Structure 1
Amino acid sequence: MMYKTAIITGASSGFGLLTTVELARRGFHVLATMRNMQKSQTFQTMTEDSKILNRIHAFPLDVTNQDSIQTFQHKVEQLEQVDVLVNNAGFAVGGFAEDVSLDAYRRQFEANVFGVMAVTQVVLPKMRQQGFGKVINVSSISGKIAFPGLSPYVASKHALEGYTESLRLEVKPFGVQVALVEPGSYKTNIWSTGMEVAEDSMKDDSAYQGYMEAIYSQLETGKQKHGDAKEVAYLIADLSDRKHFRKLHYPIGKGVKVLLWIKQTLPWNRWEQLVLSKLGMKK
């Protein structure tokens, strides 16, 4: 009997971890990829159900490393079919554009953009040949709305949005469906251990030091309102089970749809005033 197969990148924590367990609970066999295989033991802390755990197969993958991508390609070629690919791996670089090194920008794009492209290029031939498959790219509200002090992350997610829109149009005639999941603020580690901040933006002599502190203050205050990351995992699992993606964008999170509507509706100068005044930085 043929079973459904899903591949998830960044499966050892956050949305990736929760989605892996949820898809396995729904009967998918999940190739759960991660950079650090020691973290594969985390699945056993999420459930004691042996049937679920037996459907999870951890596999080493660094989406920014070509040798690792080639090893992953050999693994994918061995699979009978791939029903779903969830591109979730990524991290966040913060800091102000003047202070962030070009190397930091490159590393941000290597993980959040080029890593997605590399993994997708490996999986697409199999999906195209079998005539079906779903690619779900985990973006962010930051892919639609820019925030100060986060330009590397924001730029990478904007790039991911454009890439995914083109991808959807390219592969739909071959039976492959593509969607973007765009979470707002959720309780994951991307804003703590998963975030890297340009040190120059935090120095006392930085022109942006006070600005950065205001942003950090907002992030800390907002943590109490962060949603349960399981909501995103359930959405990804629902999309994986769905026969068709009726739309490209799936924003999710408290206030996200309202925020998107406000940005699209307000003139830019009003939107700009709103963002800066929220941070106490209106000039």
Structure 2
Amino acid sequence: MTASTRPVALITGASRGIGRAIALRLAPTHDLILVARDLERLQRLTEECAVIGERVRSIALDVTDFAAVADALRDVQVDVLINNAGVAHLKPFLETTPEEWHHQVDVNVHALYHVTRALLPGMMSRGVGHVCIIGSTAGRNTFVGGTCYVGTKHFVMGFAESLMLEVRDAGVGVSVITPGSVATDLFPEGTNTTWMLEPENVADAVYFAVTTPQHMLVHRLEVRPLSPKRPRPGA
């Protein structure tokens, strides 16, 4: 097999929702490394992406197992990192268990550090790369039941801008995509999602951000549903 000249993109939380949509959007133009815990879903997605792409491989990995992250990504070289993995337990503060609190912080904050820390040195040494993080409009507003989730997304915004300033002179870009409500399983069963964005809309925003000319950076890109009173056509 000849060496590929296509950029390599690694996507966390790739097996479902926004991560899955991003994988399918990038497959025609990028070689992919898909990371998620759900091995069965990951294998199905790998097969789907291989049909429309070229090189696709998967890594079954829990991004909250930080030793495993370091081990699995030690020799991995990528051009694009999509930090997509994220969780939410949306409930009042006094109803949030310690396990739910730490789970959100481990996935939304600590894993962001560990995955980026593993892959960024290679980008820096080659003088080219792009780190793209899936944030949320919750990173600049608040709501009841979001004490932990909103806090983690505010962290993402500060982390992304600080990192951008640190690495841009080395040729590495940092983007944060901030969607409004997206129709995924993040919401409880029975929630009206007909007006929300679709995962593919966020994937289009990611594609735009990571395929701009090398001298250009889209650092923050907010995408949101037009109106909660207007269902999507065909929804």
TM-score w.r.t. the length of structure 2 is: 0.87
Residue segments in structure 1 that go unaligned for 5+ positions in a row: 194-218, 257-283
**Residue 238 (structure 1) shift:** 1.8
SS in 1 for 2:20: helix
Instruction: Tell me which residue corresponds to 1:71.
Output: 71
**Residue 192 (structure 1) shift:** 3.8
Q: Quick one: distance in 2 between partners of 1:192 and 1:5?
A: 34
Instruction: Tell me which residue corresponds to 1:7.
Output: 10
**Residue 113 (structure 1) shift:** 0.7
Q: Which of these residues, 182, 205, 223, is aligned with residue 235 of structure 1?
A: 205
Q: Deviations over 1:118-176 (max 9, x none)?
A: 10000110000000100000001111111111221111111111111111111111111
Q: Quick one: distance in 2 between partners of 1:51 and 1:75?
A: 26
Matched, 1:147 2:143: yes
Q: Is the 8 A contact 1:90 1:111 kept in 2?
A: yes
The residue type equivalent to 1:30 in the other structure is L
What CA RMSD, in Å, does the superposition of the two structures yield over aligned residues? Answer: 2.1
Residue segments in structure 2 that go unaligned for 5+ positions in a row: 228-235
The residue type equivalent to 1:185 in the other structure is S
Matched, 1:166 2:162: yes
Instruction: Tell me which residue corresponds to 2:45.
Output: 43
Q: Is the 8 A contact 2:79 2:123 kept in 1?
A: yes
Matched, 1:118 2:88: no
**Residue 66 (structure 1) shift:** 2.1
Give the helix-richer structure, 1 or 2: 1
Q: Deviations over 1:213-258 (max 9, x none)?
A: xxxxxx934x2211222111111112221124544210002248xx
Instruction: Tell me which residue corresponds to 2:230.
Output: none
Q: Deviations over 1:169-213 (max 9, x none)?
A: 1111111100110001111122248xxxxxxxxxxxxxxxxxxxx
> Number of aligned pairs?
223
- Specify whether residues 44 and 192 from structure 1 end up closer, same or farther in structure 2 by C-alpha distance, changes over 3 A only: farther
Q: Quick one: distance in 2 between partners of 1:70 and 1:249?
A: 28
Identity across matched positions, percent: 28
Q: Is the 8 A contact 1:113 1:159 kept in 2?
A: yes
SS in 2 for 1:224: coil
Q: Quick one: distance in 2 between partners of 1:68 and 1:36?
A: 15
Larger radius of gyration: 1
Instruction: Tell me which residue corresponds to 1:200.
Output: none
